[in-house]
A and B are shown apart, each in its own frame.
Chain A
Amino acid sequence: DTAVSQTPKYLVTQMGNDKSIKCEQNLGHDTMYWYKQDSKKFLKIMFSYNNKELIINETVPNRFSPKSPDKAHLNLHINSLELGDSAVYFCASSQEMGVGVFYNEQFFGPGTRLTVL
């Protein structure tokens, strides 16, 4: 009964390769996110999708492309991987803010540790 799951947990790859990370949530939430946590443990948002629509796109290289096939899934595809992409990537989800929901409590997946060699 995992709430937010990600695959793979670890990803080791060479520079220049293309890779994908998958995320699924079974909480019935409308909004999903991708965060990057660097080596200094700073956690920063990359993207947010609400009901399959992109609503937040921070300053992220266009080598990173999120895709949301439905509101329970948000995948992250990375082209031409670089050394600086090495980090832990977290997926998260929350209910959509709106009628009856005023607060943005986000729940995180277990993370994917990406190492680019």
Chain B
Amino acid sequence: QKEVEQNSGPLSVPEGAIASLNCTYSDRVSQSFFWYRQYSGKSPELIMSIYSNGDKEDGRFTAQLNKASQYVSLLIRDSQPSDSATYLCAITLRGFQKLVFGTGTRLLVSP
């Protein structure tokens, strides 16, 4: 089983809709959870981090963490064509400084 799993997509949503991106992880001692956005040919850009169960909102983005279910998600409200990118879920284990990435979900927002 992969340490971090994501559906590769593409996930297609119309402009203005809510995009829901999901990620599951296998290691129960995972401590920190991150969502990175990567445009084609660019570097990963940190957009959200979450460390405790529940929701964390930042503008149009909401990260949701459920440690019991080993599940973290990213909701993008009022999706824009500029949100079209690959979204990478990443985790760190307690005491470790390395990020373990999922394979990413490609999001396509159509005008």
Contacts and interface: CB of A to CB of B under 8 A. Distances in A.
Given A48-B97, A48-B98, A103-B32, A108 B103 contact: no
Interface in B65-111: 86, 88, 92, 95, 97-101, 103-104
A44 B101 contact: yes
A111 interface: yes
Chain A's interface size range is 20 to 34
Interface size for chain B: under 10, 10 to 19, 20 to 34, or 35 or more residues? 20 to 34
Interface stretch (B13-21, B37-45, B54-62): B37-45
Nearest to B49: A105
B43 A42 contact: no
11 contacts: A41-B38, A41-B104, A43-B44, A43-B88, A43-B101, A44-B101, A96-B97, A97-B95, A103-B92, A106-B34, A107-B46
Interface of A: 31, 33, 40-45, 48, 50, 55-56, 58, 90, 94, 96-97, 102-111
Given A40-B103, A106-B46, A106-B99, 11 more contacts: A33-B99, A41-B103, A42-B101, A43-B44, A44-B101, A48-B98, A90-B44, A104-B32, A105-B46, A108-B44, A110-B43
